């Protein structure tokens, strides 16, 4: 796997906001459900004001290994969610490559 491919994949994982920001159905992936619930319970929303946006201020920093004020999640949950999201993006990328 080339480094460019890997970097592109990681960038997609952390820059694709809609993949994580569906509040009506918090997460189809059980590995991420705890993190989504913790962010929502702490007052982060998709349309939140500056500093309270679900993806930019809560989910993304947590998945990048940073702490978020008012949100406590286990490291194992973060790792499982990150792994699941990367696998999901790899599947989607394969589907896109196969499309003609």
User: Counting every residue, how long is the chain?
Assistant: 100
Say what the pTM is: 0.66
Q: How many domains does the chain have?
A: 1
Which structural domain, as residue segments, surrounds residue 29? Answer: 3-98
Q: What is the pLDDT of residues 65-94, one digit of tens each?
A: 999 999 999 999 999 999 999 998 899 999
> Residues with Cβ < 8 Å from 18, sequence gap 6 or more?
none
Dist. CA 13–CA 63, nearest whole Å: 10
Classify residue 57 by burial, with Cβ atoms within 10 Å: 0-12, 13-18, 19+: buried
Confidence label for 12 from pLDDT (cuts 50, 70 and 90): low
Dist. CA 36–CA 11, nearest whole Å: 20
Give the residue with greater pLDDT, 16 vs 8.
8
């Amino acid at each position: 796997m080339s480094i460019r491919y890997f970097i592109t994949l990681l960038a997609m994982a952390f820059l694709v906001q809609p993949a994580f920001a569906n509040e009506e159905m918090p997460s189809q992936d059980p590995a991420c459900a705890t993190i989504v619930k913790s962010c929502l319970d702490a007052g982060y929303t998709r349309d939140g004001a500056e500093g309270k946006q679900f993806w930019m201020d809560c989910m993304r920093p947590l998945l990048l290994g940073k702490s978020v004020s008012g949100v406590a999640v286990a490291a194992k949950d973060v790792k499982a969610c990150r792994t699941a999201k990367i696998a999901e993006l790899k599947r989607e990328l394969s589907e896109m490559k196969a499309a003609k």
